[in-house]
Amino acid sequence: MDKFAFIFPGQGTQFLQMGKSFYDQYAIAKQTFEEASDVSGIDMAKLIFNGSISGINEFTNMQLAILTTEIAIFRAYMDDYGVYPQFAVGHSIGEYAALVSAGAVRFQDAVKIMMKRGELVNGITNKNIGHMAIIEQANKETIEACIREADAEASVFISCFNSSSQFALSGANDKLDEVEQLMLDRGALVSPLFNGPPMHSPLMNEMCMEYLEFVNGFTYYPFHFPVISNQTGAPLSDPNQIAKSMTYHLIKPVLFTSAIDLFHRFGVTATIEMSPKLLLSEFVKESLPQMKTYCYGLFQDKQKLDSLFQSDTNFAKDMPNFAGRCLSILVATENHNRNQAEYKEVIQIYEKMKTRYNASAGERESVKQETHAEALEMLIKALRIKKLEPQKIKHCVKALLDETNAFYQFDHVLQAL
C-alpha cells in the first residue's frame, strides 16, 4: 500500500472557475465556500466563479480563494475516501490549508487569520519597499554569488527553495533589480513579481509582532497527522508551536525542497496535490522521479485515485465510519473513573453502540444520520463517565467530526462542549 503525503500549493494556484466542479458535485465543498463567505463577508463563489482576474488576484482575495478551494477539494477527498496521509505540506499560503486539513486549525479561524494577514501584508505592499522574483534554470550557489556581487546580502534573500533549479527571491526594489540583471546575464530565467510584497524575508519584520499577537488569540488542536513546516523543513505536530510557526513563516524562506527530502527519508511513495491544478508535483518529480504524483483537482488524476482506492482492500478497511470511529474513540480513551458501578454504564453504552453499528450498514441515509446523532450523544456521555477532561472530550469530538466530514452536521454539539 502506498504511503501518501498531501501537498497544498500557494500563490499561483488561483484562476477563475477553480473548484467549480467540486462546488457543484459535493455538498461538503459548497458548505465550505459558504462558511468562508459567512466568516469573511466576501461571497467566495461569486469571487471565484464569476469575478474578475484582477479581483481574484488581489492579495487578500487570492489568499482566501486558494484556502477555500483547497479545503473544499480536501474535504471532497475525505468524503470519497477519508484516508489520512503520513504527512502534509503546504507551500506558503498552502501551509494554512495543510494545518486545517490536519485538524490543528479550524477552517473558520484560518479564514480570519488570512484576513488579518492580508490586511498587514497590504500595508507593506502599499509602502513599495520591495518585491519578489521567480528565478529558474539556476542553482543556489549562482544566486548567492549574484547577491554578493550586488552587495545585497542585507536586502535580497532567497525566499523560496522550490526545487534544485527554481527559487524565489525577495528584496528591496533597487537591489533586487540589480540581482535580477546579474542572473539574466548568467542565463537564468527571471520573472519579477512587481505587484507582490517581499514575502518570506526579513523585509516583512514590521508586521510580525501585531500578527503574532493576533494569531495567539486562537485555539489550536492536536494534529491528525504531522505538517511539514515551511520554515524548518521538519514535521510540526505540537499545537503550542503553531502561532510562532505562522509568524516565522512571514520572514523565513519556504523550504519546500527540505519537505521533499523528508518524503524520501520516511518512505513516502506518492503525493496527492489538493489543488485545482498541477503545480508542486512538478517540483516533487524533479527531485524524486520515482515518486507517484496525483492532483485531486484534475479529473484524470481523480479517476486514477478512484481505481487505486477501489482496487486495494487495505484502503477500504481504513475508510472512516462514523459509528465505528465512535467505538474506536471510546475504546482508545483512558478511564479515570474507579467507581466500578458507574463504569458498568460505559460497557453498556459500548455494547449498545456496537449493536447499532452492526445494524446500520443497510439503513437509509436519514436513518444513518439519526444513528450518528445517537452514537455521538452516547460517546460524549461515556467519555464523561470515564472522567475525561472537558478539553480532551472536545478534542475527541473534533477529531471525529473532522475525520468523518460531519462538522457542519454537529458543529453545535462541538461548540456546546
- What Cα–Cα distance (Å) separates residue 271 from each residue in 75, 291, 305? 17, 8, 11
Q: pLDDT tens-digit profile of 30-79?
A: 999 999 999 999 999 999 999 999 999 999 999 999 999 999 999 999 99
For range 95-121, the mean pLDDT: 97
For range 321-329, the mean pLDDT: 89
Q: pLDDT tens-digit profile of 111-142?
A: 999 999 999 999 999 999 999 999 999 999 99
Band of residue 282 on the pLDDT scale cut at 50, 70, 90: very high
Amino acid 195: pLDDT: 80
Amino acid 362: pLDDT: 52
Report H helices in 266-406.
281-287, 299-311, 313-318, 322-332, 340-359, 365-385, 390-403
Amino acid 368: pLDDT: 64
Q: Which long-range contacts (CB under 8 A, 24 or more apart) does 96-100 make?
A: 96/67, 96/246, 97/8, 97/66, 97/67, 97/70, 97/71, 97/274, 98/6, 98/8, 98/227, 99/227, 99/242, 100/67, 100/71, 100/74
- How much of the chain, in percent, has pLDDT values that exceed 90? 87
Q: pLDDT tens-digit profile of 363-400?
A: 545 556 778 899 999 999 999 999 999 999 999 999 99
From the number of C-beta atoms within 10 Å of its C-beta (0-12, 13-18, 19+), residue 43 rates as middle
Q: pLDDT tens-digit profile of 335-373?
A: 999 999 899 999 999 999 888 788 765 554 555 677 889
Amino acid 360: pLDDT: 65
| 194 vs 248, higher pLDDT | 248
From the number of C-beta atoms within 10 Å of its C-beta (0-12, 13-18, 19+), residue 296 rates as buried
Band of residue 323 on the pLDDT scale cut at 50, 70, 90: confident
Beta carbons of 258 and 235 less than 8 angstroms apart: no
Domains of the chain listed by start with CATH number: 4-124+203-315 (3.40.366.10), 130-197 (3.30.70.250), 321-416 (no CATH)
Amino acid 324: pLDDT: 87
For range 327-337, the mean pLDDT: 93
Q: pLDDT tens-digit profile of 161-214?
A: 999 999 999 999 999 999 999 999 999 999 999 888 999 999 999 999 999 999
Closest to 169 (Cα-Cα) out of 218, 119, 130: 130
Band of residue 313 on the pLDDT scale cut at 50, 70, 90: confident
Does this model's pTM top 0.85?
A: yes
| 315 vs 171, higher pLDDT | 171
Beta carbons of 12 and 160 less than 8 angstroms apart: no
Q: pLDDT tens-digit profile of 48-57?
A: 999 999 999 9
Amino acid 215: pLDDT: 98
